[in-house]
Amino acid sequence: MATHLILASNNRAKLAELERLLAPLGIAVQSQAELGIAEADEPHASFLENALAKARHAAAASGLPAIADDSGLCVAVLGGAPGVGSAHYAALEAPAGVDRETRRALQDAANNRRLLEALRGTRDRRASFVSTLVALRHAGDPEPLVAVGRWPGEILDAPRGDGGFGYDPLVWIAALGRSVAELGAAQKNALSHRALAARDMLALMREHWRP
């Protein structure tokens, strides 16, 4: 069993989520940024292809097992958009000199505005958060572990809640009567698309990566 994984992402929120979700296996997760590894290109049309490319990049650069998540919001009436382009759905001209986290917050707000505009006057608001996790023992691993989680909801007419990140304020979970941004961290981690994918990944690691 791997005891140390490189996360092929520089997203601090994603790192924190995966650290908690993989804790039952005693696996330490370290961001590739801590090793000075640049983010990989994500030129592909599917979450699976992009996650695999990112995991291979991180494993090759670090010489360690790696895990990558490619995730996003898929809106039914938009044919799955924003999809793999969720993080940069809207064009953004951020002020010069802003730090990474501020830029990310500005991008999230711009993405949400664009999505609301795209759905203006649309009654079909069905959407799903989708997460695809890929784990590799090494860059040339011929048997990557793949887990997919889907968390269905509906797009609100306006943001609600201050928690989470990305599209969380716009995604309404009817069964809970709240937006994702109104959920506590523990509840979100138990129910989210990434949590569902992580549970499947835990089972796959136990089965295929056991000592």
CA distance 196 to 188: 11
State the pLDDT confidence band at 155, using cuts at 50, 70 and 90: very high
CB count, 10 Å around CB of 22?
Answer: 21
Position 24 pLDDT exceeds 90: no
Query: Which three-class secondary structure string do you get for 76-112?
Result: HHHCCCEHHHHHHCCCCCCCCCCCHHHHHHHHHHHHH
CB atoms within 10 A of CB 174: 9
Classify 203 as helix, strand or coil. Answer: helix
d(CA 182, CA 63): 39
Q: What percentage of the chain carries pLDDT values higher than 90? A: 60
pLDDT of residue 151: 97
25 or 118, greater pLDDT: 118
196, 73 contact by CB (below 8 A): no
* Amino acid in position 207: E
More confident residue, 15 or 65: 65
pLDDT band at residue 4, thresholds of 50, 70 and 90?
confident
Q: Which of 101-110, 146-155, 191-200 has the highest mean pLDDT?
A: 146-155
- Find the CATH number of the domain harbouring 81: 3.90.950.10
Structural domain of residue 121, as residue ranges? 4-208
- What mean pLDDT comes out for the span 174-196? 91
Quote the CA–CA distance of 16 and 194 in Å, as a whole number: 12
* pLDDT for residue 211 is more than 70: no
Taking CA atoms, 196 is separated from 27, 30, 131, 180, in Å, by 18, 21, 8, 15
Name the β-bridge partners of 69.
133
Number of folded domains in the chain? 1
Residues 6+ away with beta carbon under 8 Å from 117:
none
Per-residue model confidence (pLDDT) at position 2? 62
Choose the catalytic residue: 41, 69, 70, 162: 70
Record the tokens describing residue 194, joined without a space: 């990434």
Strands 145-155 and 178-179: unpaired
- Alpha-carbon distance of 102 to 72, in angstroms, equals 20
Find, among 139, 140, 158, 11, the residue nearest to 70 by Cα.
11
- The conformation of residue 116, written as its DSSP 8-state character, comes to H
Does the annotation mark 70 as catalytic?
A: yes
